[in-house]
Each structure stands twice: as C-alpha cells, then as structure tokens.
Amino acid sequence: MARRKVIIMGAAGRDFHNFNTVYRDNKDYEVVAFTATQIPDIHGRVYPPVLAGKLYPEGIPIFPEDELPDLIDKFGADEVVFSYSDVPYEYVMGAGAWAMSCGAKSFVLLGPEPTMIESEVPVIAVCATRTGCGKSQTTRRVAEILTEAGKKVVVIRHPMPYGDLSEQIWQRFETIEDLKKHKCTIEEMEEYEPHIDRGNIVYAGVDYGEILKHAEKEADIIIWDGGNNDIPFYKPDLWITVVDPHRPGDELVYYPSEINLRLADMIIINKIDTANLEGILEVRENSMEANPFAVIVEAASPITVDDPELIEGKRVLVIEDGPTLTHGGMKYGAGVMAAMRYGAAKMIDPRPFAVGTIAETFEKYPETGELLPAMGYSPKQVKDLEDTIAASDAEVVVIGTPIDLRRIIKIDKPCVRVSYDLQIIGRPNLEDIIYKTFEL
C-alpha cells in the first residue's frame, strides 16, 4: 500500500513534536513538507535528517503557510495536519476548508493520547487557555513549592527552536552563560532566565523524547512549562490550567484551550486583582461547566516596580512580552498596569518610531496598539527593537517583559523594570494540591 502523503501546518514547535511522536519512522506515511506561520524566518529551512529519521535522508522542507495550495498540488498530499496553537476555532476550521478545497483528502488534529510521552518520573504540567494567562509565574511557584519540599526539580519548556535545528535536539540551561552558548532569542530568554535566576534547571529543544531521557536522570519531579495554550508533550500526573478573566470566553473558542480546560486537575483563575467581576464569574462558570471535577482556585499576579518614582508625570514607552501582544491578543500587560498605577502622564504610541522588522510586526498585528512588543527572534530584530526605542520621544521606558531587556539591548533612556509573581487566594492552594497528589 502506498504511503499517505502528509503536510504538517506548524510554527516550529507542536508541528515538530507531532512529527517525532506520530510520523517519524512510520512507514504508513510520508511527510512531504512542513508549513510555518506565527514565527518569522522559520520557512526556507529544512527539518534535518538527524531529526527526521532514516525515512528522510534529505530531511523535510519547510515552506511559508501561504504556499499550502501549491504544496498540496505539487506533492499530491492526502492529509494536512494542523499543528499549532492559540488560534480561534473559526481559524482552525477555515484552515481545514482551505486545505480540503485545495485537494487534501483529510484535515487532521492530533490529540493528547498519541502525542503525550510517558515519563519515568512524576510530571506536573502547567498549561493555559491563551498566551499570557500567567503560566510562567505559576510554573515558578510550583518549582518553589517542590524545592522547599526537598525535591530536585527540572523544568522542561515548550519548544522555541528558532536557530539551527540540528544543534537544538536537546538543550540544558543552568546558567546565564548557557543562554549565550545556545544563542537564545529574547523569546527564549524570557522563559528560561527567570527559572535560572531561581536555581531551576531548564531543558528545551526539538526532540522531546530525547530531552526526557536526559531530564529524568536528574529530576525527582519534572515540570512541563507549556507554551501558548498548547497541550502537554508529556503525560502529566497533575495537570494545571491557567485561565484569564481579562479574556473571558476565550477558553471555549480557542484551540486547543478547551482541551486544557476539560482535562485539568486544577484550574487557576489568574489576575483577579486586575480583572472585573463579570470576567471572573464568566470564566469560573465556563470552567465549572466544562470540567466539574477540577479544583478551581483564584490567584492574583501582583506587580513590583523597581523605581516607581520615575514614572510619575512622564511620557512613557511601555514594552510588553511580544507573543502576549501579538497572537495572544492582549491589549495590555504588567507594564501598562505599572504606568497607570504610578501616574504616567502619557503612554506614547511606538508605531511612528518603529523600524524594520518591528514595523512589520505592527503591520501583521495592527491590534497591538500603543504598546511595543519585545520581539527578538533574530539579531536583526533585536537591533530593530533597540533602534525603535532610541527613535521614540519617550522620557522613560517601562519594561514589562519577563526579563530585564537592559541586559540584552542598549536603552538610551531611563528605565523601570516591572516584575510579577503568582499569589493564590484562599484554600485549597497550590501547596495543598501538590502535597496531596504526590504525598509529600
């Protein structure tokens, strides 16, 4: 029987994992191409033979997603597999209609069962219903609880392989020097550096089976630190899902948010300190209806500002986490909250000052508005970010990103740094659930 020809639609993360777990070394299928979107400069590369396996001695080409119709025709594709996250249901079904109208015989969504790898050590998965819900501070708090209980924690982060894939099969991060060694982007540093600062070891890369083999050797418990609103790559013993009352309803209409909601053991309604009551009640009601068996708790993410007096009365440029503003769709973050709380005279619009790839980002995501996303997927984009800040007429820069950008780029203006942590309100709390689950 002829092998079914497959195209995997992705964004340099879930797509590679789906291939590795379902299609690699599977003689029933021939993956003829990946397509890429969301992340700049992923297309034009090749998924290398060292990762693709013995069936693909020349690797697998990666094309821009907008070439999908031509690719279906060129390769005679039987199946198109949708393999990225944080998109509304109508987008997913639109992609399905697009693929099948162009000749694909089927449109596939791979669920948790065939793609979650089983670990020999316990796993806690921290997931969310949208980018920017608060997974990072939740993961840090989970790691802190386990460390205080005397457990050796290893964090495995959702993939962000934006460099040479053959050199990113598995990566281990313990020090800031490791970030430099692996040539991390701003987006990678935002996820790894806060853990490193707290003494947590982080693994990431492309092949999550290989990553797990190394992590298991030094972990008592593994924390899966999810990306976007994706489902875990490992089968969890405790599944935590964070929901956002600033975007009520998204938990039921974004893919794969509802999977995380329905399969969670614990649902955290975050940001209750800044959300309105209607939003909090809506996500609670939706969570209870979708998953009546989950423990639902509420949490705040209080902010801390290092030099708040610099903000008062000033024209400020607010920089927020890039993915949260772009495909995450958030209109504000911790930086905006700090600017409002400490009396900024005005938050300036960065768009007139944007250069190069930053200007292109605003064109692609016009809803971003009067905030500067901290984009840094390449050295050029990092330089464009630096030049955009320099060109602005701001008096003060408010840095609301998970890392201090002053370590990465040169900022020619006074800056304040905004940070935030998770604070569970009431009982049961994270400690109660973790201690009960793992009998600590």
* CATH label of the domain that carries residue 208: 3.40.50.300
pLDDT score recorded for residue 19: 98
What value does the mean pLDDT take over residues 73-81? Answer: 97
- pLDDT tens sequence across 366-396: 777 778 887 777 788 888 888 899 999 989 9
Look at residue 286 and give its three-state secondary structure. helix
Residues 374 and 241 in one domain: no
Least confident interval from 2-16, 31-45, 132-146, 209-223: 31-45
pLDDT band at 408 (very low <50, low <70, confident <90, very high): confident
Per-residue pLDDT at 274 exceeds 90: no
Query: Would the pTM of this model clear 0.85, i.e. be above it?
Result: yes
- pLDDT tens sequence across 164-200: 899 999 999 999 999 989 988 878 888 898 899 899 9
Residue 247, token pair as written in the block: 């975007």
pLDDT score recorded for residue 328: 59
Residues 276 and 127 in one domain: yes
pLDDT score recorded for residue 23: 98
pLDDT score recorded for residue 38: 75
- pLDDT tens sequence across 13-68: 999 999 999 999 999 999 999 999 877 677 789 999 999 999 999 999 999 999 99
Q: CB within 8 A of 330, min separation 6: which ones?
A: 131, 132, 246, 247, 320, 324
* Domain extent at residue 415: 304-419
Exposed e or buried b for every residue in 55-75, given b needs 16+ CB within 10 A?
bbeebbebbebeebeebbeee
Per-residue pLDDT at 327 exceeds 70: no
What value does the mean pLDDT take over residues 321-346? Answer: 77
pLDDT score recorded for residue 160: 85
pLDDT score recorded for residue 59: 97
Distance between CA atoms of residues 145 and 222, nearest Å: 13
Task: Give the amino acid at 62.
Answer: I
Residues 87 and 128 in one domain: no
* Residue 176 CB-density burial (10 A; 0-12 exposed, 13-18 middle, 19+ buried): middle
Residues 234 and 279 in one domain: yes
- The answer to whether 212 touches 156, Cβ cutoff 8 Å, is yes
pLDDT score recorded for residue 359: 87
Residues 356 and 373 in one domain: yes
Residues 348 and 368 in one domain: yes
Per-residue pLDDT at 119 exceeds 90: yes
Residues 276 and 192 in one domain: yes
pLDDT score recorded for residue 325: 61
Question: 63, 89, 110: which is the final residue of a domain?
Answer: 110
Per-residue pLDDT at 324 exceeds 70: no
Give residue 187's Cα distance to chain centre: 9
pLDDT score recorded for residue 191: 86
Question: 76, 94, 110: which is the final residue of a domain?
Answer: 110
Look at residue 348 and give its three-state secondary structure. coil
Instruction: Give how many domains the chain has, as a whole number.
Output: 3
What value does the mean pLDDT take over residues 408-416? Answer: 88
pLDDT score recorded for residue 326: 62
Distance between CA atoms of residues 128 and 229, nearest Å: 5
Q: Which of 138, 242, 227, 240 is nearest to 187 (CA)?
A: 227
Residues 338 and 270 in one domain: no
Residues 127 and 99 in one domain: no
More confident residue, 383 or 114: 114
Average pLDDT, the chain: 92
CATH number at residue 22: 3.40.50.720
Per-residue pLDDT at 282 exceeds 80: yes
Distance between CA atoms of residues 411 and 265, nearest Å: 43
Residues 292 and 149 in one domain: yes
Per-residue pLDDT at 129 exceeds 70: yes
Residues 428 and 398 in one domain: no
Question: 110, 127, 147: which is the final residue of a domain?
Answer: 110
What value does the mean pLDDT take over residues 99-114? Answer: 97
What value does the mean pLDDT take over residues 337-343? Answer: 89
Residues 43 and 142 in one domain: no
